[in-house]
Amino acid sequence: MIKHLRSAADLDAATATLILDTAAEMAALSGREVKKLPALRGRTVVNLFYEDSTRTRISFEAAAKRLSADVINFSAKGSSVSKGESLKDTALTLQAMGADAVVIRHSASGAPHRLANWVDGSVVNAGDGTHEHPTQALLDAYTMRSRLGRLDGLKVAIVGDVLHSRVARSNVLLLTTLGADVTLVGPPTLIPLDVAAALSKSTKVSYDLDSVLPDSDVVMMLRVQTERMQDSYFPSAREYSRRYGLDMPRMRKLPEHAVVMHPGPMNRGMEIAPEVADSPRSTIVEQVANGVSVRMAVLYLLLGGK
Amino acid sequence: MAQPRADAPSKIILAGSDLHRVVDRIAHQILEKTSGATGTVLLGIPTRGVPLAHRLAARIHAFEGVDVPVGSLDITLYRDDLRLQATRALGRTELPAGGIDGLRVILVDDVLFSGRSVRAALDALKDLGRPSSVQLAVLVDRGHRQLPIRADYVGKNIPTALSESVKVALTEIDGADEVKLIGGLT
Amino acid sequence: MAYLLKGVSILGAAPTDLYINDGVISAPVPDAEVIDAAGLVALPGLVDVHTHLREPGREDAETVETGSRAAALGGYTAVCAMANTSPVADTAGVVEQVWRLGREAGLVDVQPIGAVTVGLAGKQMAELGAMASSAADVRIFSDDGFCVADPKLMRRALEYVKAFDGVIAQHAEEPRLTEGAQMHEGEVSTRLGLTGWPAVAEEAIIARDVLLAEHVGSRLHVCHVSTAGSVEVLRQAKARGVRVTAEVTPHHLLLTDERAEGYDPVFKVNPPLRTRSDVEALRQALLDGVIDVVATDHAPHAVQDKECEWSYARPGMLGLETALPIVLSVFGPKWDLIADRMSIAPARIAGLDGHGGDLTKAGTPANLTLVDPSVQRVVDPAELASISRNTPYAGMTLPGRIVATFLRGEATVLDGKAVK
């Protein structure tokens, strides 16, 4: 098993599939009387969050606790971090406390890679800057597989601000590893240069959402921050929404079986219409539930053995 | 525990029809001891306990027409040696639709050895519900218990040395039915 | 003191005996201290037109003295100290302070560079004339670290320094195109999720500046050229007769952006490491003379400024002690090329008359260095004379060892060790 999960590129197809299969077993737990397994008893998992993200933190926290690990939440606010303690010094503190795993969320791309140099335990990337968010990609893949029964050959459109999206990067890497065909859709200003060469040769790019939808099994809408307007990535929220937002007429262009995903938090009315977000095709609530199972699987596989 | 080398000598203890007869006997014993297997659930411990549980259920059905619900109980996350080995993939845990509360659960495994797997199974069971009683059926008891655990139904007692190992093969998984004793002093 | 360099090879020529006396190359003199120089190559003392010595302000990263020692150990006899100190070298007072500290250290000639604009803020021209007529005799002006982005201000600066034969050394980086930039914009930056620094941000400024220099008939020097596109702009400008010179750093001649893969900020530098094809173009440009000099952009940083997240780390790399080995590893023992690009041409650009002289002529100031090209050495950061440790070459095996360096006939390095 791998030691760290810093990038979706750390996962080959066999390991990724093992995580998804393990997550399926973990998912059964939520229907049980006792929602707890003893696998990580006595292990310490630190949630080191330099960015506010309550949903991701509680998802990791629930995952670790259901596996009986001791969880320490170390949030940047109100800690020594605000006094300017370096990541390295924080890492050495966590090391001294005997952290078996550190789940890190950080605004700087690559912070998990740096952290892994300074702690003996496993490092799990819970989102770093505009780089990656591998557990989000795993839960997305899990959700697709449970809705559509497979990943191999699945046509997935990822729509929106790919340039600044850690979710998109991890999804492209993981989904192509698992055999899906990914098309990135958005205005050219928000699709990074050389994206296919950078991530996966088979990745396609389109600037026209309408032409991509009829041939998609999954459409994943990315959050678009309105402040990108100020930086001339697109002229206005209205124009963005018209060209790249998923509304009801557009959703009807999808094949019957296709699903709509969003990593959250959503800008309703911007990249996704409220009726679409709440439609039966939307997996948005499932994604949250699946997040706990997938993170349990990751923590178990990283920490469960020798 | 030291495993015998791959080229160690081996001896077949049960083959094909012998194994079938042993399974039949356990099925009969279950029927006898449980007064017709009512209120009973068979839970196989992966990997080979699961097909054994299904065989027992099939034989019970053949003998008396009783349908005994079958499930599987993965014990990986409850093992006391989890940390001593590389991370293991999980097996399936699948309870029958009626659950296990208030029922007699018979755990089914291929080999009873130290008893640690059974203890893990009992721990796992505790998190899944509250059976009225728990029994244990094994194909082979090879001795060397490390815990105060015994089986209610034993297919065959095989006295072994610690340096030996018992290998159970089942058609569903291994393509053939046999029990082999491997290694030890010759 | 007089020295006899016995059996030395001047720029790779047949072994000869070279005498140093009274600070110059001399005819044979009796009682000279004999240095066995068999197998050693003599080069004119190297001249760096782009060094950060960090004093005043960041003496925890480097001082004029430690930087001078690193320079001498690297074979240098003169370095030009960049203006981005704290306070900024934008007044006669600060440049004279740096110049005086260099004299006191006495290991290399430290020639201060003056800031173009007050506080490097790019708003108001600094007192360039006062710095030129100070004891430091400043000739190169640069806001290095920042680009003189305002075209009007750049034009005025280029014109103004003509009065005292100055030159503006531009850090070519269009600031609006590099907001938040962390590394070269391309495949690797996309993969790593680091904001890109596009090549065009450098090329656009160089294109603008060569046109401005041409328009006002001034000299322009371009710092640390890093892209193939910049090379093409410079090639065309030079063909038209524009008075432009350019430098390339050892790291841009060797390393590529793939080094960022592990997010180790020791590879973070500005301008960033580029692609393999850029590296090839820069090498060719140095061979062709489109790029005139190798300059180190020696940029020491304290440990805490590099042992952190990539985006929080300061850009820059050590360079003085590894420059010659890097150039040797890239180009091989092309001694005439090395002497020109690392000594003669930089001395000419910086107006340092005593440096880059002809070692075969008696009377030439004895600024020279002796290299043993047969030695291969593994770079060990702990062995460097710099206070800082941010070398990107740690663990690399590089050819060439500086055995001795002489500044005006006095040894600053002997047996590979600094004399003070």
Report the pLDDT value the prediction gives residue C111, as an integer from 0 to 100. 98
Instruction: Provide the CA C135 distance to its chain's centre, in angstroms.
Output: 22
Q: Give yes or no for A36 touching B (CB within 8 A).
A: yes
Cα–Cα distance for residue pair A172/A195, rounded to 1 Å: 10
Check CB contact under 8 Å for A25 and B90: yes
Here the CATH number for the domain that contains residue C162 is 3.20.20.140
Domain extent, residue B105, equals 17-163
CATH number where B55 lies: 3.40.50.2020
10 Å Cβ neighbour count for C374?
Answer: 11
Q: What is the pLDDT of residue B185?
A: 55
Residues A80-94: what's their mean pLDDT? 79
Is A266's pLDDT higher than 70?
yes
Q: Name the active-site residue from A43, A66, A105, A169.
A: A105
Asked if the structure places residue B124 within a domain, the reply is yes
For C311, the closest chain A residue by CA position comes to A108
Whether pLDDT at A192 is above 60: yes
First to last CA, chain C: 16
Cross-strand bridge partners of residue C140: C167
Q: Which of A167-176, B82-91, C256-265 has the lowest mean pLDDT?
A: B82-91
The span from the CA of A112 to the CA of A7, in Å, is 9
Separation of alpha carbons B15 and C46, rounded Å: 86
Maximum Cα interatomic distance, chain A, rounded to a whole number of Å: 56
Question: Given a cut of 70, is residue A82 above it in pLDDT?
Answer: no
Mind listing the pLDDT tens digit for each residue in A139-148? 999 999 999 9
Within an 8 Å CB–CB cutoff, is residue A305 touching chain B?
yes
Side-chain-side CA neighbours of B169 within 13 Å: the count stands at 15
Whether residue B1 has pLDDT greater than 60: no
Which of C304, C309, C311 to mutate: most A Cβ within 10 Å? C309
| Cβ contact, residue pair C193, A166, below 8 Å | yes
Interface A:C, Cβ pairs < 8 A: 67
pLDDT of A225 reads: 83
Q: Binding site annotation covers A55?
A: yes
C-beta atoms of B82 and A39 within 8 A: yes
Cβ of B85 within 8 Å of Cβ of A306? The answer is yes
Q: How many domains does chain B have?
A: 1
In a domain, B53, yes or no: yes
Using H for helix, E for strand and C for coil, what is the string for A112-154?
Answer: HHHHHCCCCCEEEEEEECCCECHHHHHHHHHHHHHHHCCCCCC
Q: Tell me how far apart the alpha carbons of residues A69 and B76 are, in angstroms, rounded to a whole number.
A: 16
Strands C16-21 and C3-10, bridge-based pairing: antiparallel
**Does the beta-carbon distance from A33 to B127 stay under 8 Å?**
yes
- The rounded distance, in Å, linking the Cα atoms of A249 and B54 is 51
Residue C117 is encoded by which pair of tokens? 């604009």
The burial class, CB within 10 Å (0-12 / 13-18 / 19+), for B142 is buried
Residues 65-124 of chain B with CB under 8 A from chain A are 74, 76-78, 82-90, 92-93, 123
In a domain, C20, yes or no: no
Phi, psi of C114 (to 5 degrees): -95, 150
Q: Looking at the domain assignment, is residue C1 inside a domain? A: no
Q: How far is A101 from chain C (nearest CA, A)?
A: 19
Q: Which chains touch C (3 or more CB pairs under 8 A)?
A: A
Average pLDDT of the residues in B44-55: 97
Tokens of C336: 């005439």
- Following DSSP, what letter does each residue of A170-181 receive, concatenated? HHHHHHHHTT-E
* Percentage of chain B lying above the pLDDT 70 cut: 95
DSSP state of C311: G
Catalytic annotation present for A169: no
Q: State phi, psi for A153 to the nearest 5 degrees.
A: 80, -5
| Cβ atoms of A122 and A115 closer than 8 Å | no
Residues recorded for chain B: 186
Nearest Cβ partner for B127 among A18, A25, A34 = A34
Three-state DSSP class for C202? helix
Local confidence band at A78 (pLDDT 50, 70, 90 cut-offs): very low
Instruction: Identify whether B103 is part of a domain.
Output: yes
So which residues of C are the catalytic ones?
A: 297
Chain C's closest residue to A128, CA to CA, is: C193
Q: Which amino acid is at C419?
A: V
What 3-state class would DSSP assign to B42?
strand
The pLDDT of residue A227 is 78
d(CA B93, CA A28): 8
| A56 is annotated as contributing to ligand binding | yes
Q: Spell out the residues 6+ positions from residue C144 whose beta carbon is closer than 8 angstroms to its own.
A: C50, C82, C83, C84, C113, C169, C171, C223
Start-to-end C-alpha separation, chain A: 10
Q: Is A66 annotated as a binding residue?
A: no
Q: What is the rounded CA–CA span in Å between residue B159 and residue B166? A: 10
Task: Look at C185 and A198 and tell me if their CB atoms are within 8 Å.
Answer: no
Given this model, what pLDDT does residue C278 score?
Answer: 98
CA-CA distance, C198 to C226, in Å (whole number)? 11
Say if the Cβ atoms of A198 and C188 lie within 8 Å.
yes
Mean pLDDT score, B1-6 = 60
Cα separation, A241 vs A244, whole angstroms? 5
pLDDT at residue number B85: 86
pLDDT at A284 over 80: yes
Q: What is the pLDDT of residue A77?
A: 60
**Structural domains of chain A, with CATH:** 8-129+288-303 (3.40.50.1370), 134-284 (3.40.50.1370)
**Contact present, B44 and B54 (Cβ < 8 Å):** yes
B130 part of a folded domain: yes
Q: What is the mean pLDDT of residues B155-165?
A: 93
Nearest CA in chain A to C191: A198
The mean pLDDT value of chain A amounts to 93
Closest chain A CA to residue B76: A39
Q: What does the pLDDT look like over C133-171, one tens digit per residue?
A: 999 999 999 999 999 999 999 999 999 999 999 999 999
**CA nearest A35 in B: which residue?**
B127
Q: Which pLDDT score, from 0 to 100, does residue B4 have?
A: 65
| A183 pLDDT more than 60 | yes
* Cα distances (angstroms) measured from residue A140 to each of A158, A262, A285: 12, 9, 12
Confirm or deny that A35 is annotated as ligand binding: no
CA of B76, closest CA in chain A: separation in Å?
8
How far does the CA of residue A18 sit from the closest CA of chain B (Å)? 7
pLDDT at residue A123 tops 50:
yes
Lowest mean pLDDT among B12-26, C125-139, C282-296: B12-26
Residue A250 marked as a ligand binder: no
Classify residue C363: in a domain, yes or no: no
**Average pLDDT of the segment spanning C241-265:** 98
Q: Is the pLDDT of residue B184 over 80?
A: no
B140 Cβ partners below 8 Å, 6+ apart? B13, B110, B111, B112, B154, B155, B156, B157, B158, B166, B168, B179
Q: Note the pLDDT of residue A292.
A: 96
For residue A55, indicate whether it is catalytic. Answer: yes
Rounded to an integer, the average pLDDT of A87-98 is 93
Judge whether residue B41 has pLDDT over 90. Answer: yes
pLDDT of residue A228: 80
- Ligand-binding site membership of A169 (annotated): no
Which tokens is A83 given? 């006094």
Distance, in Å, from the CA atom of A302 to the CA atom of A118, rounded to the nearest integer, reads 18
Which structure tokens are listed for A28?
A: 């059964």
Q: Are C47 and C36 in contact (CB under 8 A)?
A: no
Contact between chains at C262 and A113 (C-beta distance less than 8 A): yes
Give the one of C185, C189, C308 whose C-beta lies nearest to A87's C-beta: C308
A contact set with C (CB within 8 A): 86-88, 106, 108-111, 113-114, 128-132, 166, 169, 192-195, 197-199
Closest alpha carbon to C173 in C198, C190, C152, C154: C198
Segment C269-293 shows an average pLDDT of 98
With touching defined as 3+ CB pairs under 8 A, do chains B and C touch? no
3-state DSSP call for residue A276? helix
Q: In 10 A of CB B62, how many CB atoms?
A: 11
Chain B residue closest in CA terms to A17: B89
Q: Distance between the two ends of chain B, CA-based, in angstroms? A: 19
Number of domains in chain C: 1
Work out whether the CA dihedral C312, C314, C316, C320 comes out positive or negative. negative
Query: Per the annotation, does A166 bind a ligand?
Result: yes
Rounded to the nearest angstrom, the gap between the alpha carbon of residue A19 and the centroid of all alpha carbons in its chain is 14
Domain extent for C68: 44-357
B150 and B133 in contact (C-beta within 8 Å)? no
User: Any idea what DSSP says for residue A279?
Assistant: S
Is residue B108, in this structure, part of any structural domain at all?
yes
pLDDT in tens, C333-380: 999 999 999 999 999 999 999 999 999 999 999 999 999 999 999 999
Judge residue A194's burial from the number of C-beta atoms within 10 Å of its C-beta, 0-12 exposed, 13-18 middle, 19 or more buried: middle
**Which chains are adjacent to chain A, needing at least 3 Cβ pairs under 8 Å?**
B, C
- 3-state SS string for C330-355: HHCCCHHHHHHHHHHHHHHHHCCCCC
Q: How far is CA C83 from CA A59, B30, C225, C312, C320, in A?
A: 51, 91, 19, 23, 17
ipTM of the complex: 0.94
Q: Minimal Cα–Cα distance from A22 to chain B, Å?
A: 6
Is B101 inside a domain boundary? yes
Q: Tell me the C-alpha distance between C49 and C54, whole Å.
A: 15
State the average pLDDT for chain C.
97
Indicate the Cα dihedral angle B117, B119, B121, B126, nearest 10°.
-170
**A126-130, A219-223, A227-231: least confidently modelled range:** A227-231
The answer to whether chain C touches chain A by having 3 or more C-beta pairs less than 8 angstroms apart is yes
